[in-house]
Structure 1
Amino acid sequence: MRARFDTLFGRLFGVLLVAIVLAHLLAFLWFKHYGPLVPLTFQFVSLIIAAWYGAKLLTRPIQRLSDAAERLSENLDSPPLDESGPREARQAAHTFNLMQKRILEQIQQRSRMLGAVSHDLRTPLSRLKLRLEQIDNEKLQGQMRQDLDDMIGMLDSTLTYLHEQRTSEAPQWMDVQALVESLSENAQDQGADVQARGHCAPLQVQPMALRSCINNLLDNALRYAGDALITLEDSREQLVIRVIDHGPGIAADKREAVFEPFFRLEGSRNRNSGGVGLGMTIAREAAERLGGQLSLEETPGGGLTAVIRLPRV
Protein backbone atom coordinates (compact mmCIF):
# COMPACT_ATOMS: atom_id res chain seq x y z
CA MET A 1 0.00 0.00 0.00
CA ARG A 2 2.83 2.35 0.88
CA ALA A 3 4.56 1.66 -2.45
CA ARG A 4 1.46 2.82 -4.33
CA PHE A 5 1.60 6.25 -2.71
CA ASP A 6 5.32 6.53 -3.42
CA THR A 7 4.48 7.43 -7.02
CA LEU A 8 3.49 10.83 -8.34
CA PHE A 9 0.15 9.43 -9.46
CA GLY A 10 -0.49 7.94 -6.03
CA ARG A 11 0.30 11.17 -4.19
CA LEU A 12 -1.83 13.28 -6.50
CA PHE A 13 -4.73 10.83 -6.29
CA GLY A 14 -4.40 10.72 -2.49
CA VAL A 15 -4.49 14.51 -2.18
CA LEU A 16 -7.60 14.80 -4.34
CA LEU A 17 -9.31 11.87 -2.59
CA VAL A 18 -8.72 13.32 0.87
CA ALA A 19 -9.87 16.75 -0.31
CA ILE A 20 -13.11 15.39 -1.77
CA VAL A 21 -13.94 13.22 1.27
CA LEU A 22 -13.08 16.00 3.72
CA ALA A 23 -15.06 18.59 1.76
CA HIS A 24 -18.16 16.39 1.65
CA LEU A 25 -17.90 15.43 5.31
CA LEU A 26 -17.54 19.00 6.51
CA ALA A 27 -20.19 20.16 4.07
CA PHE A 28 -22.62 17.62 5.53
CA LEU A 29 -21.98 18.96 9.04
CA TRP A 30 -22.42 22.57 7.89
CA PHE A 31 -25.59 21.69 5.99
CA LYS A 32 -27.05 20.03 9.05
CA HIS A 33 -26.65 23.16 11.20
CA TYR A 34 -26.56 26.22 8.88
CA GLY A 35 -28.28 25.42 5.58
CA PRO A 36 -27.23 24.58 2.02
CA LEU A 37 -25.34 27.73 0.93
CA VAL A 38 -22.27 27.50 3.15
CA PRO A 39 -21.39 23.83 2.45
CA LEU A 40 -21.46 24.36 -1.29
CA THR A 41 -19.11 27.32 -0.93
CA PHE A 42 -16.87 25.33 1.38
CA GLN A 43 -16.73 22.43 -1.09
CA PHE A 44 -15.83 24.78 -3.90
CA VAL A 45 -12.99 26.43 -1.93
CA SER A 46 -11.67 23.06 -0.71
CA LEU A 47 -11.50 21.64 -4.22
CA ILE A 48 -9.72 24.76 -5.52
CA ILE A 49 -7.09 24.42 -2.78
CA ALA A 50 -6.69 20.71 -3.54
CA ALA A 51 -6.31 21.41 -7.27
CA TRP A 52 -3.68 24.09 -6.59
CA TYR A 53 -1.68 21.83 -4.29
CA GLY A 54 -2.00 18.88 -6.66
CA ALA A 55 -0.77 20.94 -9.61
CA LYS A 56 2.15 22.19 -7.55
CA LEU A 57 2.97 18.63 -6.51
CA LEU A 58 2.85 17.52 -10.13
CA THR A 59 5.02 20.30 -11.57
CA ARG A 60 7.67 20.51 -8.84
CA PRO A 61 9.77 17.52 -10.05
CA ILE A 62 9.49 18.70 -13.66
CA GLN A 63 10.67 22.18 -12.67
CA ARG A 64 13.63 20.71 -10.76
CA LEU A 65 14.59 18.66 -13.80
CA SER A 66 14.25 21.69 -16.09
CA ASP A 67 16.45 23.83 -13.81
CA ALA A 68 19.08 21.09 -13.67
CA ALA A 69 19.09 20.77 -17.47
CA GLU A 70 19.58 24.53 -17.82
CA ARG A 71 22.50 24.46 -15.35
CA LEU A 72 24.04 21.54 -17.24
CA SER A 73 23.82 23.43 -20.54
CA GLU A 74 25.82 26.27 -18.99
CA ASN A 75 28.29 24.17 -16.99
CA LEU A 76 28.92 20.44 -17.38
CA ASP A 77 30.48 20.39 -13.90
CA SER A 78 27.26 21.57 -12.21
CA PRO A 79 26.19 19.64 -9.07
CA PRO A 80 24.11 16.48 -9.66
CA LEU A 81 20.35 16.55 -9.23
CA ASP A 82 18.98 15.55 -5.82
CA GLU A 83 17.43 12.08 -6.15
CA SER A 84 14.46 12.54 -3.84
CA GLY A 85 10.67 12.79 -4.12
CA PRO A 86 8.18 10.40 -5.75
CA ARG A 87 9.42 7.31 -7.55
CA GLU A 88 9.08 8.85 -11.03
CA ALA A 89 11.01 11.93 -9.92
CA ARG A 90 13.77 9.79 -8.37
CA GLN A 91 14.04 7.71 -11.52
CA ALA A 92 14.22 10.81 -13.73
CA ALA A 93 16.85 12.41 -11.46
CA HIS A 94 18.91 9.21 -11.41
CA THR A 95 18.79 8.94 -15.22
CA PHE A 96 19.71 12.61 -15.57
CA ASN A 97 22.70 12.26 -13.22
CA LEU A 98 23.82 9.13 -15.06
CA MET A 99 23.65 11.00 -18.37
CA GLN A 100 25.70 13.87 -16.95
CA LYS A 101 28.30 11.43 -15.62
CA ARG A 102 28.62 9.68 -18.98
CA ILE A 103 28.96 12.97 -20.85
CA LEU A 104 31.77 14.05 -18.53
CA GLU A 105 33.50 10.68 -18.88
CA GLN A 106 33.31 10.82 -22.67
CA ILE A 107 34.68 14.38 -22.76
CA GLN A 108 37.52 13.47 -20.41
CA GLN A 109 38.32 10.41 -22.48
CA ARG A 110 38.31 12.49 -25.66
CA SER A 111 40.62 15.06 -24.05
CA ARG A 112 43.07 12.34 -23.02
CA MET A 113 43.01 10.83 -26.51
CA LEU A 114 43.53 14.22 -28.16
CA GLY A 115 46.40 15.01 -25.83
CA ALA A 116 48.06 11.71 -26.68
CA VAL A 117 47.45 12.15 -30.42
CA SER A 118 48.81 15.69 -30.27
CA HIS A 119 51.98 14.57 -28.53
CA ASP A 120 52.50 11.55 -30.77
CA LEU A 121 51.92 13.52 -33.99
CA ARG A 122 54.15 16.43 -33.11
CA THR A 123 57.20 14.22 -32.65
CA PRO A 124 57.28 12.68 -36.17
CA LEU A 125 56.26 16.00 -37.73
CA SER A 126 59.20 17.71 -36.03
CA ARG A 127 61.53 14.96 -37.25
CA LEU A 128 60.23 15.38 -40.78
CA LYS A 129 60.91 19.11 -40.69
CA LEU A 130 64.52 18.41 -39.66
CA ARG A 131 64.98 15.81 -42.40
CA LEU A 132 63.71 18.25 -45.00
CA GLU A 133 67.00 20.09 -44.72
CA GLN A 134 68.70 17.11 -46.34
CA ILE A 135 66.69 17.51 -49.56
CA ASP A 136 68.64 19.32 -52.27
CA ASN A 137 65.63 20.31 -54.36
CA GLU A 138 64.68 23.70 -52.90
CA LYS A 139 61.30 23.82 -54.63
CA LEU A 140 60.32 20.40 -53.32
CA GLN A 141 61.71 21.29 -49.91
CA GLY A 142 59.56 24.42 -49.77
CA GLN A 143 56.43 22.55 -50.81
CA MET A 144 56.96 19.82 -48.23
CA ARG A 145 57.72 22.35 -45.50
CA GLN A 146 54.47 24.16 -46.35
CA ASP A 147 52.55 20.87 -46.14
CA LEU A 148 54.03 20.15 -42.72
CA ASP A 149 53.21 23.67 -41.51
CA ASP A 150 49.63 23.19 -42.72
CA MET A 151 49.37 19.89 -40.84
CA ILE A 152 50.70 21.45 -37.64
CA GLY A 153 48.33 24.40 -38.07
CA MET A 154 45.34 22.11 -38.52
CA LEU A 155 46.36 20.13 -35.45
CA ASP A 156 46.72 23.27 -33.33
CA SER A 157 43.41 24.72 -34.56
CA THR A 158 41.53 21.50 -33.93
CA LEU A 159 42.86 21.21 -30.38
CA THR A 160 42.01 24.87 -29.74
CA TYR A 161 38.47 24.31 -31.02
CA LEU A 162 37.93 21.27 -28.80
CA HIS A 163 39.41 23.09 -25.81
CA GLU A 164 37.02 26.00 -26.39
CA GLN A 165 34.10 23.57 -26.34
CA ARG A 166 35.18 22.14 -22.99
CA THR A 167 36.19 25.34 -21.23
CA SER A 168 33.66 26.83 -18.82
CA GLU A 169 34.08 30.19 -17.09
CA ALA A 170 32.23 32.00 -14.36
CA PRO A 171 30.61 35.21 -15.68
CA GLN A 172 32.12 38.44 -14.39
CA TRP A 173 31.80 42.15 -15.08
CA MET A 174 34.12 43.27 -17.85
CA ASP A 175 35.00 46.53 -19.58
CA VAL A 176 34.21 45.41 -23.14
CA GLN A 177 35.22 48.78 -24.57
CA ALA A 178 38.71 48.43 -23.06
CA LEU A 179 38.96 44.89 -24.49
CA VAL A 180 38.05 46.07 -28.00
CA GLU A 181 40.48 48.99 -27.83
CA SER A 182 43.23 46.67 -26.57
CA LEU A 183 42.68 44.18 -29.42
CA SER A 184 42.72 47.05 -31.90
CA GLU A 185 45.97 48.47 -30.51
CA ASN A 186 47.62 45.04 -30.50
CA ALA A 187 46.72 44.58 -34.17
CA GLN A 188 48.05 48.06 -35.01
CA ASP A 189 51.34 47.24 -33.28
CA GLN A 190 51.66 44.29 -35.68
CA GLY A 191 51.11 46.55 -38.68
CA ALA A 192 47.40 45.84 -39.27
CA ASP A 193 44.85 48.55 -40.07
CA VAL A 194 42.27 48.08 -37.29
CA GLN A 195 40.09 50.84 -35.83
CA ALA A 196 37.68 50.85 -32.88
CA ARG A 197 34.67 53.14 -32.43
CA GLY A 198 31.83 53.50 -29.97
CA HIS A 199 31.30 53.31 -26.25
CA CYS A 200 29.62 50.87 -23.89
CA ALA A 201 29.09 50.24 -20.20
CA PRO A 202 30.63 47.16 -18.54
CA LEU A 203 28.89 43.87 -19.28
CA GLN A 204 28.72 40.59 -17.38
CA VAL A 205 30.41 38.03 -19.65
CA GLN A 206 32.83 35.12 -19.77
CA PRO A 207 36.06 37.03 -20.57
CA MET A 208 37.92 34.26 -22.42
CA ALA A 209 34.88 33.41 -24.54
CA LEU A 210 34.33 37.05 -25.57
CA ARG A 211 38.00 37.59 -26.37
CA SER A 212 38.05 34.38 -28.42
CA CYS A 213 34.93 35.43 -30.33
CA ILE A 214 36.20 38.90 -31.28
CA ASN A 215 39.73 37.65 -31.98
CA ASN A 216 38.57 35.04 -34.47
CA LEU A 217 36.32 37.51 -36.27
CA LEU A 218 39.13 40.05 -36.38
CA ASP A 219 41.61 37.47 -37.72
CA ASN A 220 39.10 36.51 -40.40
CA ALA A 221 38.61 40.13 -41.46
CA LEU A 222 42.36 40.81 -41.62
CA ARG A 223 43.03 37.59 -43.53
CA TYR A 224 40.60 38.35 -46.35
CA ALA A 225 40.34 42.14 -46.33
CA GLY A 226 43.57 43.40 -44.74
CA ASP A 227 41.74 45.92 -42.55
CA ALA A 228 38.88 45.97 -40.04
CA LEU A 229 36.66 48.31 -38.04
CA ILE A 230 35.19 47.25 -34.68
CA THR A 231 32.15 49.24 -33.53
CA LEU A 232 30.19 49.19 -30.28
CA GLU A 233 26.47 50.03 -30.05
CA ASP A 234 25.11 49.92 -26.51
CA SER A 235 21.51 50.01 -25.25
CA ARG A 236 19.53 48.94 -22.18
CA GLU A 237 18.59 45.60 -23.78
CA GLN A 238 21.78 44.52 -25.53
CA LEU A 239 25.31 45.30 -26.64
CA VAL A 240 25.98 45.00 -30.38
CA ILE A 241 29.58 44.49 -31.52
CA ARG A 242 30.31 44.71 -35.25
CA VAL A 243 33.52 43.62 -36.96
CA ILE A 244 33.41 45.30 -40.37
CA ASP A 245 35.65 44.73 -43.37
CA HIS A 246 35.63 45.69 -47.05
CA GLY A 247 36.97 42.45 -48.47
CA PRO A 248 35.41 40.07 -50.99
CA GLY A 249 32.49 39.26 -48.64
CA ILE A 250 30.45 36.05 -48.58
CA ALA A 251 27.42 35.24 -50.72
CA ALA A 252 24.14 35.25 -48.80
CA ASP A 253 23.54 31.52 -49.38
CA LYS A 254 26.96 30.65 -47.90
CA ARG A 255 26.87 32.76 -44.72
CA GLU A 256 25.44 30.02 -42.51
CA ALA A 257 27.63 27.32 -44.02
CA VAL A 258 30.86 29.06 -42.94
CA PHE A 259 29.96 28.37 -39.30
CA GLU A 260 30.24 24.62 -39.90
CA PRO A 261 33.53 23.07 -38.67
CA PHE A 262 36.21 22.80 -41.37
CA PHE A 263 34.04 24.49 -44.02
CA ARG A 264 35.95 26.80 -46.33
CA LEU A 265 34.78 28.74 -49.35
CA GLU A 266 36.28 27.74 -52.67
CA GLY A 267 38.02 31.09 -52.97
CA SER A 268 39.89 30.52 -49.71
CA ARG A 269 41.21 27.07 -50.51
CA ASN A 270 44.80 28.11 -50.92
CA ARG A 271 47.77 28.18 -48.61
CA ASN A 272 48.19 31.93 -48.58
CA SER A 273 44.71 33.00 -47.47
CA GLY A 274 42.70 30.01 -46.30
CA GLY A 275 42.62 28.84 -42.70
CA VAL A 276 41.50 25.40 -41.60
CA GLY A 277 37.84 26.41 -41.34
CA LEU A 278 37.39 26.62 -37.56
CA GLY A 279 37.64 30.33 -36.75
CA MET A 280 34.00 31.18 -37.48
CA THR A 281 32.82 28.02 -35.72
CA ILE A 282 34.74 28.95 -32.57
CA ALA A 283 33.41 32.52 -32.74
CA ARG A 284 29.75 31.48 -32.99
CA GLU A 285 30.00 28.89 -30.22
CA ALA A 286 31.72 31.47 -27.99
CA ALA A 287 28.91 33.96 -28.67
CA GLU A 288 26.29 31.33 -27.82
CA ARG A 289 28.08 30.49 -24.55
CA LEU A 290 27.68 34.17 -23.69
CA GLY A 291 23.93 33.88 -24.31
CA GLY A 292 24.24 35.95 -27.48
CA GLN A 293 24.05 35.54 -31.24
CA LEU A 294 26.51 35.87 -34.08
CA SER A 295 25.38 36.57 -37.63
CA LEU A 296 26.94 37.77 -40.88
CA GLU A 297 25.74 40.66 -43.04
CA GLU A 298 26.93 42.41 -46.17
CA THR A 299 28.91 45.58 -45.57
CA PRO A 300 27.44 48.59 -47.41
CA GLY A 301 29.73 49.20 -50.35
CA GLY A 302 31.04 45.62 -50.30
CA GLY A 303 32.59 43.36 -47.72
CA LEU A 304 31.48 41.38 -44.67
CA THR A 305 30.12 42.52 -41.30
CA ALA A 306 30.06 40.10 -38.37
CA VAL A 307 27.44 41.13 -35.80
CA ILE A 308 27.60 39.95 -32.17
CA ARG A 309 24.48 40.62 -30.10
CA LEU A 310 24.96 40.18 -26.34
CA PRO A 311 21.94 40.61 -24.04
CA ARG A 312 22.05 42.70 -20.89
CA VAL A 313 20.40 40.65 -18.16
Structure 2
Amino acid sequence: QIQPLKRLAIIAETFGRGLDAPELKVSGSLEIRQTTNAFNQMRTRIKRFLKQRTDMLAGVSHDLRTPLTRMKLQLSLMKDDDAKKELEYDIKEMTAMLNSYVSFVRGETPETIANIQLNNLIKNICQNLDREKYEITETYSRKIDTSGRPLQIKRAIQNILDNARRYASKIQIDVSVNNDECFISISDNGPGIPEKNYEDVFKPFFTLDPSRNKMKGESGLGMTISRDIIRSHGGDIKLSPSSIGGLKTVINLPI
Protein backbone atom coordinates (compact mmCIF):
# COMPACT_ATOMS: atom_id res chain seq x y z
CA GLN A 1 0.00 0.00 0.00
CA ILE A 2 3.01 2.30 0.41
CA GLN A 3 3.89 2.48 -3.31
CA PRO A 4 0.56 4.04 -4.46
CA LEU A 5 0.85 6.63 -1.67
CA LYS A 6 4.39 7.51 -2.76
CA ARG A 7 3.22 7.95 -6.35
CA LEU A 8 0.35 10.15 -5.15
CA ALA A 9 2.73 12.31 -3.09
CA ILE A 10 5.15 12.75 -6.02
CA ILE A 11 2.41 13.60 -8.53
CA ALA A 12 0.71 15.99 -6.08
CA GLU A 13 4.02 17.79 -5.47
CA THR A 14 4.68 18.00 -9.22
CA PHE A 15 1.20 19.32 -9.98
CA GLY A 16 1.40 21.77 -7.09
CA ARG A 17 4.54 23.30 -8.63
CA GLY A 18 2.65 24.00 -11.85
CA LEU A 19 4.36 21.25 -13.81
CA ASP A 20 2.53 18.86 -16.11
CA ALA A 21 1.51 15.87 -13.99
CA PRO A 22 -0.09 12.76 -15.53
CA GLU A 23 -3.31 11.26 -14.27
CA LEU A 24 -2.72 8.68 -11.55
CA LYS A 25 -3.45 5.03 -12.16
CA VAL A 26 -6.07 3.83 -9.68
CA SER A 27 -4.78 0.93 -7.57
CA GLY A 28 -4.38 -0.24 -3.98
CA SER A 29 -6.89 -0.51 -1.17
CA LEU A 30 -10.38 1.00 -1.28
CA GLU A 31 -9.29 4.11 0.64
CA ILE A 32 -6.28 4.68 -1.63
CA ARG A 33 -8.41 4.20 -4.76
CA GLN A 34 -10.93 6.73 -3.45
CA THR A 35 -8.13 9.20 -2.68
CA THR A 36 -6.60 8.68 -6.13
CA ASN A 37 -9.95 9.21 -7.85
CA ALA A 38 -10.52 12.39 -5.83
CA PHE A 39 -7.07 13.69 -6.82
CA ASN A 40 -7.63 12.92 -10.51
CA GLN A 41 -10.99 14.72 -10.45
CA MET A 42 -9.45 17.72 -8.68
CA ARG A 43 -6.61 17.81 -11.24
CA THR A 44 -9.11 17.81 -14.12
CA ARG A 45 -11.21 20.59 -12.57
CA ILE A 46 -8.18 22.80 -11.88
CA LYS A 47 -6.79 22.35 -15.41
CA ARG A 48 -10.22 23.15 -16.88
CA PHE A 49 -10.55 26.26 -14.72
CA LEU A 50 -7.08 27.52 -15.67
CA LYS A 51 -7.77 26.98 -19.37
CA GLN A 52 -11.09 28.82 -19.14
CA ARG A 53 -9.43 31.74 -17.36
CA THR A 54 -6.64 31.89 -19.92
CA ASP A 55 -9.05 31.70 -22.87
CA MET A 56 -11.26 34.42 -21.37
CA LEU A 57 -8.37 36.83 -20.78
CA ALA A 58 -6.96 36.14 -24.24
CA GLY A 59 -10.36 36.80 -25.82
CA VAL A 60 -10.94 40.02 -23.89
CA SER A 61 -7.45 41.30 -24.72
CA HIS A 62 -7.95 40.53 -28.41
CA ASP A 63 -11.39 42.16 -28.55
CA LEU A 64 -10.15 45.34 -26.86
CA ARG A 65 -7.29 45.85 -29.30
CA THR A 66 -9.64 46.50 -32.26
CA PRO A 67 -11.49 49.54 -30.83
CA LEU A 68 -8.24 50.78 -29.31
CA THR A 69 -6.59 50.75 -32.74
CA ARG A 70 -9.55 52.68 -34.21
CA MET A 71 -9.25 55.26 -31.45
CA LYS A 72 -5.54 55.73 -32.21
CA LEU A 73 -6.29 56.29 -35.91
CA GLN A 74 -9.04 58.81 -35.17
CA LEU A 75 -6.81 60.57 -32.67
CA SER A 76 -4.07 61.01 -35.27
CA LEU A 77 -6.53 63.08 -37.37
CA MET A 78 -7.34 65.49 -34.55
CA LYS A 79 -5.67 68.85 -34.21
CA ASP A 80 -3.13 69.29 -31.44
CA ASP A 81 -4.72 70.71 -28.29
CA ASP A 82 -5.18 69.88 -24.61
CA ALA A 83 -8.09 67.54 -25.35
CA LYS A 84 -5.92 65.50 -27.72
CA LYS A 85 -3.14 65.25 -25.14
CA GLU A 86 -5.59 63.99 -22.53
CA LEU A 87 -6.96 61.38 -24.93
CA GLU A 88 -3.44 60.30 -25.89
CA TYR A 89 -2.64 59.81 -22.20
CA ASP A 90 -5.81 57.75 -21.68
CA ILE A 91 -5.05 55.54 -24.68
CA LYS A 92 -1.46 55.07 -23.52
CA GLU A 93 -2.75 53.99 -20.10
CA MET A 94 -5.26 51.58 -21.66
CA THR A 95 -2.53 50.10 -23.85
CA ALA A 96 -0.29 49.54 -20.81
CA MET A 97 -3.13 47.78 -18.98
CA LEU A 98 -3.88 45.65 -22.03
CA ASN A 99 -0.23 44.64 -22.30
CA SER A 100 -0.38 43.54 -18.65
CA TYR A 101 -3.38 41.34 -19.39
CA VAL A 102 -1.53 39.78 -22.32
CA SER A 103 1.50 39.23 -20.08
CA PHE A 104 -0.74 37.52 -17.55
CA VAL A 105 -2.17 35.25 -20.24
CA ARG A 106 1.32 34.37 -21.46
CA GLY A 107 2.14 33.32 -17.93
CA GLU A 108 -0.55 30.65 -18.28
CA THR A 109 0.63 29.30 -21.62
CA PRO A 110 2.90 26.25 -21.76
CA GLU A 111 6.65 26.80 -21.61
CA THR A 112 9.29 24.11 -21.62
CA ILE A 113 10.79 23.26 -18.24
CA ALA A 114 14.53 23.92 -18.29
CA ASN A 115 17.52 24.38 -16.03
CA ILE A 116 17.82 27.99 -14.84
CA GLN A 117 21.10 29.55 -13.76
CA LEU A 118 19.65 32.23 -11.47
CA ASN A 119 22.81 34.30 -11.17
CA ASN A 120 23.03 34.79 -14.94
CA LEU A 121 19.29 35.40 -15.29
CA ILE A 122 19.31 38.17 -12.66
CA LYS A 123 22.48 39.72 -14.09
CA ASN A 124 20.86 39.84 -17.54
CA ILE A 125 17.82 41.62 -16.10
CA CYS A 126 19.99 44.15 -14.26
CA GLN A 127 22.01 44.91 -17.41
CA ASN A 128 18.90 46.51 -18.90
CA LEU A 129 18.43 48.87 -15.93
CA ASP A 130 19.73 52.42 -16.08
CA ARG A 131 22.63 52.30 -13.62
CA GLU A 132 23.20 56.03 -13.99
CA LYS A 133 19.71 56.66 -12.64
CA TYR A 134 19.66 53.89 -10.03
CA GLU A 135 22.28 52.71 -7.56
CA ILE A 136 22.09 48.92 -7.95
CA THR A 137 24.16 46.39 -6.00
CA GLU A 138 24.11 42.61 -6.51
CA THR A 139 25.38 39.95 -4.10
CA TYR A 140 25.48 36.22 -4.85
CA SER A 141 26.41 33.63 -2.20
CA ARG A 142 27.29 31.05 -4.87
CA LYS A 143 26.23 29.71 -8.25
CA ILE A 144 22.58 28.70 -8.01
CA ASP A 145 20.71 26.38 -10.37
CA THR A 146 17.03 25.52 -10.31
CA SER A 147 14.48 24.18 -12.78
CA GLY A 148 11.38 25.84 -14.13
CA ARG A 149 10.06 28.05 -16.91
CA PRO A 150 12.83 30.59 -17.61
CA LEU A 151 10.71 33.30 -19.24
CA GLN A 152 8.14 33.18 -16.44
CA ILE A 153 10.76 33.39 -13.69
CA LYS A 154 12.39 36.29 -15.53
CA ARG A 155 9.01 38.05 -15.80
CA ALA A 156 8.33 37.60 -12.08
CA ILE A 157 11.68 39.11 -11.04
CA GLN A 158 11.41 41.86 -13.67
CA ASN A 159 8.00 42.93 -12.34
CA ILE A 160 9.37 43.30 -8.80
CA LEU A 161 12.40 45.27 -10.00
CA ASP A 162 10.12 47.50 -12.08
CA ASN A 163 8.12 48.29 -8.94
CA ALA A 164 11.30 49.11 -7.02
CA ARG A 165 12.73 51.43 -9.66
CA ARG A 166 9.46 53.35 -10.01
CA TYR A 167 9.77 54.72 -6.49
CA ALA A 168 13.40 54.25 -5.43
CA SER A 169 16.88 55.41 -6.40
CA LYS A 170 18.76 52.62 -4.59
CA ILE A 171 18.18 48.88 -5.08
CA GLN A 172 19.98 46.01 -3.36
CA ILE A 173 19.73 42.44 -4.69
CA ASP A 174 20.95 39.55 -2.53
CA VAL A 175 20.80 35.94 -3.73
CA SER A 176 21.46 33.16 -1.21
CA VAL A 177 20.77 29.50 -0.45
CA ASN A 178 19.47 27.79 2.67
CA ASN A 179 19.17 23.99 2.56
CA ASP A 180 17.07 23.16 -0.52
CA GLU A 181 15.75 26.67 -1.14
CA CYS A 182 17.17 29.78 -2.75
CA PHE A 183 16.22 33.31 -1.73
CA ILE A 184 16.20 36.39 -3.95
CA SER A 185 15.97 39.49 -1.78
CA ILE A 186 15.21 42.84 -3.46
CA SER A 187 15.42 45.88 -1.16
CA ASP A 188 14.86 49.53 -2.08
CA ASN A 189 14.96 52.96 -0.43
CA GLY A 190 11.55 54.09 -1.71
CA PRO A 191 8.56 55.20 0.40
CA GLY A 192 7.64 51.60 1.22
CA ILE A 193 4.20 50.13 1.90
CA PRO A 194 2.25 50.02 5.19
CA GLU A 195 2.50 46.53 6.71
CA LYS A 196 -1.29 46.23 6.81
CA ASN A 197 -1.26 46.37 2.97
CA TYR A 198 1.43 43.74 2.36
CA GLU A 199 -1.07 41.10 1.25
CA ASP A 200 -3.29 43.61 -0.54
CA VAL A 201 -0.62 44.47 -3.12
CA PHE A 202 -0.87 40.92 -4.49
CA LYS A 203 -4.57 41.36 -5.25
CA PRO A 204 -5.38 42.16 -8.91
CA PHE A 205 -5.75 45.91 -9.58
CA PHE A 206 -5.09 46.92 -5.96
CA THR A 207 -3.47 50.36 -5.70
CA LEU A 208 -2.41 52.32 -2.62
CA ASP A 209 -2.76 55.61 -4.48
CA PRO A 210 -4.64 55.31 -7.81
CA SER A 211 -3.55 58.73 -9.08
CA ARG A 212 0.12 58.05 -8.32
CA ASN A 213 -0.02 54.62 -9.94
CA LYS A 214 -1.49 56.03 -13.14
CA MET A 215 1.32 58.57 -13.36
CA LYS A 216 3.85 55.77 -12.90
CA GLY A 217 2.24 53.62 -15.61
CA GLU A 218 1.12 50.78 -13.33
CA SER A 219 -1.78 48.48 -14.16
CA GLY A 220 -2.14 46.79 -10.77
CA LEU A 221 -1.26 43.32 -12.07
CA GLY A 222 2.53 43.17 -11.74
CA MET A 223 2.77 41.75 -8.22
CA THR A 224 -0.22 39.48 -8.84
CA ILE A 225 1.50 37.96 -11.86
CA SER A 226 4.81 37.60 -10.00
CA ARG A 227 3.35 35.72 -7.04
CA ASP A 228 1.24 33.55 -9.34
CA ILE A 229 4.36 32.54 -11.28
CA ILE A 230 6.53 31.93 -8.21
CA ARG A 231 3.85 29.89 -6.43
CA SER A 232 3.35 27.79 -9.56
CA HIS A 233 7.05 26.88 -9.20
CA GLY A 234 6.62 25.78 -5.59
CA GLY A 235 7.88 29.02 -4.03
CA ASP A 236 6.41 32.20 -2.60
CA ILE A 237 6.93 35.96 -2.24
CA LYS A 238 7.01 37.79 1.09
CA LEU A 239 7.23 41.50 1.91
CA SER A 240 8.87 43.24 4.87
CA PRO A 241 10.45 46.61 5.73
CA SER A 242 13.79 47.24 4.06
CA SER A 243 16.93 48.00 6.04
CA ILE A 244 17.61 50.90 3.65
CA GLY A 245 14.28 52.57 4.29
CA GLY A 246 11.81 51.19 1.74
CA LEU A 247 10.39 47.78 0.89
CA LYS A 248 12.06 44.37 0.96
CA THR A 249 10.66 41.69 -1.35
CA VAL A 250 11.91 38.13 -0.85
CA ILE A 251 11.35 35.41 -3.45
CA ASN A 252 12.00 31.83 -2.36
CA LEU A 253 12.26 28.96 -4.83
CA PRO A 254 13.11 25.26 -4.43
CA ILE A 255 16.42 24.13 -5.92
TM bucket (normalised to shorter chain) is 0.7 to 0.9
Which fold has the larger relative contact order, with Cα–Cα distance below 8 Å and residues 6 or more apart in sequence? 2
Secondary structure of the 1:72 match is helix
1:155 is aligned to: 98
- Residues 1-313 of structure 1 aligned to structure 2 (within 5 Å): 57=1, 61-75=4-18, 77-87=20-30, 89-136=32-79, 138-167=81-110, 169-172=112-115, 174-188=116-130, 192-199=133-140, 200-206=142-148, 207-236=150-179, 238-266=181-209, 269-312=212-255
| Greater CA drift, 68-77 or 251-260 | 68-77
Q: Distance in 2 between matches of 1:270 and 1:75?
A: 31
| Greater CA drift, 241-250 or 107-116 | 107-116
Q: Is the 8 A contact 2:8 2:36 kept in 1?
A: yes
- Cα RMSD after superposing both structures: 2.8
User: More helix by proportion, 1 or 2?
Assistant: 1
Larger radius of gyration: 1
Compared CA separation, residues 251 and 185, structure 1 to 2 (3 A): same
In the TM superposition, residue 249 of structure 1 has moved relative to its aligned partner by 0.9
State the TM-score, normalizing by the size of structure 1: 0.70
Letter in 2 for 1:245: D
Structure 2: segments with no counterpart, 5+ residues: none
In the TM superposition, residue 72 of structure 1 has moved relative to its aligned partner by 2.1
Compared CA separation, residues 115 and 241, structure 1 to 2 (3 A): closer
Q: Distance in 1 between matches of 2:45 and 2:22?
A: 14
In the TM superposition, residue 149 of structure 1 has moved relative to its aligned partner by 1.8
Letter in 2 for 1:132: L
Q: Distance in 1 between matches of 2:192 and 2:83?
A: 34
The number of aligned residues is 253
1:26 is aligned to: none
Structure 1: segments with no counterpart, 5+ residues: 1-56
Q: Percent identity?
A: 35
Q: Distance in 1 between matches of 2:123 and 2:178?
A: 19
Secondary structure of the 1:272 match is helix
Q: Is the 8 A contact 2:16 2:234 kept in 1?
A: no
Compared CA separation, residues 102 and 112, structure 1 to 2 (3 A): same
